[in-house]
Each structure stands twice: as C-alpha cells, then as structure tokens.
Chains A and B, each alone.
Chain A
Amino acid sequence: MRTASYFRTYRLVPYVFVLPFIISFCAFYAYPLVSTIIMSFQKIIPGQTHFVGLGNYRKMISEDFWQALKVSFEYTVITILILIPGPTLLAALLNSGLKKLNAIYRAAFFIPSLVSVVVAGTIFRLMFSLTGRAVVNASLGFLFGVKPIDWVMGGAWQAMLLMVMLATWRWTGVNTVYFLSGLQSISTDLYEAASIDGAGPARQFLSITMPLLKPTIIFVTTISIFGGFAMFEESYMLWQGVSPNNVGLTLVGLIYQKGFQLGDLGLASAVGLVVMLVVFVLAVIQLNLFGFFRKED
C-alpha cells in the first residue's frame, strides 16, 4: 500500500534522482561501446572513413595479438593463483589472536595499494636493476650465489615474474581486506561446535572457513579476471610501451599502441571488442565452475 502511494505522489522524483547515472551511462558507456563496434568495421583516416567489413579483425590476428593475449592470459592466471590463496591464508591468520597487532599488520599490507603505479613501477625498476649491486640481485647473489639477472630487459619469464611481483605487492592488502570481511561474517559458534566435535584448526579451515568464504572467493576471482585483462599501467611503467620481443605487451597495451601511437583506430577497436568478449566468456565460465548459476534452495 505504502509503496503504491509513494509511486503515485512522487512519480517523477525518482527518475530525477537517477538521471545523472542515465546521462553518464549513455555518454560514457553505451555510446563508446556502440562506437567501438562500429569503428571495428571501419578504416579510419582523418577526414574519411570506409567500411572494411572484417578487415580489421583479419589484420588483428597477427603475432602481436597472440603475444598480447598470451601475456595477459598468463598474467591473469598467475596473479589469481597467488592473490586468492595467499590473502585467504593471511586473512585467516589476521582474524585470530591479538586484535591490536592484527590491525597494525593489516595496515602494513594495505599501504602498497595506496601508492600510484608510477611510483611503484619506479621503485621496482630500481630494486630489480640489472647490476649486481641492486638490492634484489645483491640478495640473490649473497643467499644463493645467483649471477645478476636482467629483470627488466632479460626475457619473457623475468618480465612476467616482475609484473606478477608488482601485482602481488600492490594487491595482497586489498584482497586480504576482502577476505577478512568475508571471515568476519562467519559465526564463531560454528568453530566452537567444531572444536567440541574434536576438529583441529586445519580441519576447521577446510570444512567451515573455505565453504563459507565461497562468495568472497567468487567475487575476488571475478574482479581479478577483469583487472588482469585490463592490465596496462604496470607494464607501461616498466617498459614505457616498448618491451624487447613484446614480453610486456598486454591486450590494453596493444589497444594503446595501435590506437594512440599508430593512429589505427579501427584495428584498436577490434582488439578492444575481442578483449571484452574474452573477459566476459572467461568470467561466465568461472562463475559456472563455482556453481554460481545453479539454483540453490
């Protein structure tokens, strides 16, 4: 009853409230999306555009594209493999014991996410500098007798490791906070009951914590897929857009290169659209694996 009368009296008011979103949605999401689709079928030279059918898509499937897809895919998979289990364990550790100390630790893990990627990339490049004196090479040499490694320009695995470490450094704290909030919503009664039944900490973690954290795990995995495939800035900071043999070329890096540096808007749009499709498909597969679409009662 109440609802119906609101609706009649203030019929227009709610629409005024949501108007800013509708305008921004049309201008900055719907229009760009449609525009990307159209541009991906066009050859765009300043002043004139031609319809070229699938020309851009045919041109797109070059070495660079497969390389960028490989880098983005590997980066996404590896960061997920690290940034889900690691923060889950960390959150479990930080959720028990001394409250004050835990809060300090949590803050310490969070700080790296506050600095800009420009600053983070600069520190990492200097720490991972190729000389034997730079802290990372010096430590590796001292501890394991490893010869100085050229992390930035050395090759594919060094480049991937560097990007993954940068991501791990920046995102561990953020993901830990997500998992902590997931943990805090689990009732302590469950653990007490399990203790009485004789379940140890490991058993409790597997039988109570993990299943009840599932929504958080799904959420973090989903945003990690989107974030991983959208990665550009970290790689740009390490190589300024040009890496040897494209070891640091990501899909968004490819869009930037083709669209802004080479001015081929049609080709870049085709890449953008394909990236969006790939991400969407992967996200759906992932949600399906976790049983997100299964009806639960």
Chain B
Amino acid sequence: MESMTTQRILSETVKYLLLGVLVILFLFPIFALVMASFETGQNLMRYGISFKSLVPKTFDPKNFVALVTTRDGVYLTWYKNSIILTALQASMALAFSSFVGYGLGVYHFKGRNLIFILVLAVMLVPVQILILPLYKLMTAMGIMNSYLGVVAPFVVSPFAIFFFRQYSLGIPKDYLDAGRIDGLGEFRIFAKLTAPLMGPAYGAMAIMISQQAWNGFLWPLIVMRTGDKFPLTIGLNSLLTPYGNNYDMLIAGSCAASIPIIIVFFFFQRFFISGLNAGGIKG
C-alpha cells in the first residue's frame, strides 16, 4: 500500500512536470509577442525575436502611442471596423441561426430531415472554395467594399443552427402549450418564452461567432478594397510590404488586437468549451 501511494505521487509529479513544460512552450509565443511590443521595429526587422527582446530594458509604451498617432490614427479606424463587423455578424448570425435551429428542433414538418441534412452538409463545405462565385455575387449586388459584403455570407451560421437545434430539443413541449393557452402566436412564444430559455446557448454561440468574425481574414481580404474599410486583420497584414515591414506598429497592434479576445476567454471559458463540444455531439 505504502509503495503504491509513493509510486502514484511520483507518476503524478512526472505528469505535471511534463505538462508544465508543454504549457510553457505553448504560451511562449504569446509572451514573446508581448515583450517584443516594447522592442524597436528596427531590431525586430534585423534579428527577429531574440532572447534580448524577451527582456525589454524599459517598458516604454512608445509603440502603443504610435498606434494612435501614425497615419492619423488609421489603427483606430481598423479597430472600429473590426468592432462594427463583429457586432454586426454576431447579432445577425445569432438572431437568424437561433430562429432556424429552434424551428428545426421543436417542430415536426415535412422536409425537416432534408433541411437538417443540408445544414450538416454545408458545415463541411469550406467557404474558401466558394470565394470566386461569392465574389461575383457581391459585385453583382453592389456590396463590395462594405460591411454588408463581409457579413452577408455568414449571417446564417450552419454551425450555430446545429447548436441551437440540439439545445432546443431539450425544451419541454409544455412551454409551447402554455404559451398557446395564453393565446400567444408561435413567434411570440419563441420571442417571449423559449428564446430566453436558451440563454446559455446564446452565450456560447455569441463567443464562437465573435471570435470568428474578429479573426476573419480571407473573406474581408477580398471584399474590403480601401484602407479606411479594413478590419484589424487586414490592416495589420497591410503593414507587411515588400519595401520593409512596419514592425513597430505590427507587433504592438497585434497585441492590442488580441487582448480583448483573451480577456473575454477568461471570463467566459465555459461558453467557449461548450461551443466546441457541440461539434462533438453525434448527429
């Protein structure tokens, strides 16, 4: 008995040491980014991130000040665009996807299975492959270089539909009946009674969709044509030019762009996790 516990303690120690080393490796790039934001762009250009730049001599925030002052504060414009795009995409995708997912989960109707299969099929088609015709479509609709153009293909999220459908399967039918007895129409029942019951689902999807919108790259790269319309990802990317990369702005800008999402993650960890777990549910 005695030897078993010592052995157990030993194996647990080894396990946590091993995990600790891995954690340090995984967090190292983030740490390097934060430290490098106090380094001069010139040094980064010349040496990359060196061990010296991991220990800044001073925590001079001049790179962060430069973010606000360079080119009439274009960085702030990118930030504003990212916030607008994220808010727009998240609110629309949440409203439409919960509506559809709820409909699929609660009602029995002809074609319900077919639609559900289509939702699953669409989840597996990478948007990247459809960018050309989507680009033509946006041009035809006259919404290139606009917020709407970036958001339009994503206002209905198949993944979120799937999530809301799974969630609404668990809503007791009694709620619907109670609403009907009170004389509410089906849409009022959704708005007043059942949607509020799906609070945790809204939380999980709000975070998943916001993160995707905030970090979106390929599609805004195609849709947004002028610098004043760029979100952060495209704006930061535009700092990489063949004539020399603006690392002063790029690194501090990358930090400032990532911090909100990491803070949100720490507050809403369980929503992130449950959002992912929906994918693992066997359909």
B156 near A17 (CB under 8 angstroms)?
Answer: no
With A126-B36, A133-B50, A219-B280 already in contact, the answer to whether A230 and B269 are too (CB < 8 A) is no
Closest to A229 in B: B126
A181 near B280 (CB under 8 angstroms)?
Answer: yes
Question: Most chain-B Cβ atoms within 10 A of its Cβ — which of A93, A111, A122?
Answer: A122
User: CB-CB contacts of A180-193 with B at 8 A, as 1s and 0s?
Assistant: 01100000000000
28 CB-based A-B contacts, threshold 8 Å: A2-B173, A14-B107, A14-B109, A17-B99, A17-B104, A19-B100, A20-B99, A21-B156, A32-B130, A33-B133, A36-B133, A107-B265, A112-B29, A115-B30, A116-B233, A116-B257, A123-B32, A123-B49, A127-B49, A128-B48, A131-B48, A134-B49, A177-B277, A216-B280, A236-B218, A255-B131, A269-B132, A279-B126
Q: How large is the interface on B (under 10, 10 to 19, 20 to 34, 35 or more residues)?
A: 35 or more
Main secondary structure of the interface of A (DSSP, over half): helix
Residues of B within 8 A of A15 (CB): 109
Contact partner, A33, options B119, B130, B215, Cβ 8 Å: B130
Q: How many A-B residue pairs have CB under 8 A?
A: 263
Q: B103 on the interface (CB 8 Å rule)?
A: yes
What is the interface of chain B, defined by CB distance below 8 A to chain A? 12, 15-16, 18-19, 22-23, 26-27, 29-30, 32-33, 36, 44, 46-52, 54, 96, 99-100, 102-104, 107-109, 112, 115, 118-119, 122, 124-126, 128-137, 152-153, 155-156, 158, 161, 173, 186-187, 190, 211, 214-215, 217-218, 222, 232-233, 236-237, 240, 247, 250-251, 254, 257-258, 261-262, 265-266, 269, 272-273, 276-277, 279-280, 282
Q: How far is the CA of A187 from the CA of B124 in the complex (A)?
A: 30
Question: Most chain-B Cβ atoms within 10 A of its Cβ — which of A27, A107, A123?
Answer: A123
Q: A135 on the interface (CB 8 Å rule)?
A: yes
Q: How far is the CA of A156 from the CA of B112 in the complex (A)?
A: 49
B217 near A112 (CB under 8 angstroms)?
Answer: no
With A135-B49, A230-B126 already in contact, the answer to whether A18 and B254 are too (CB < 8 A) is no
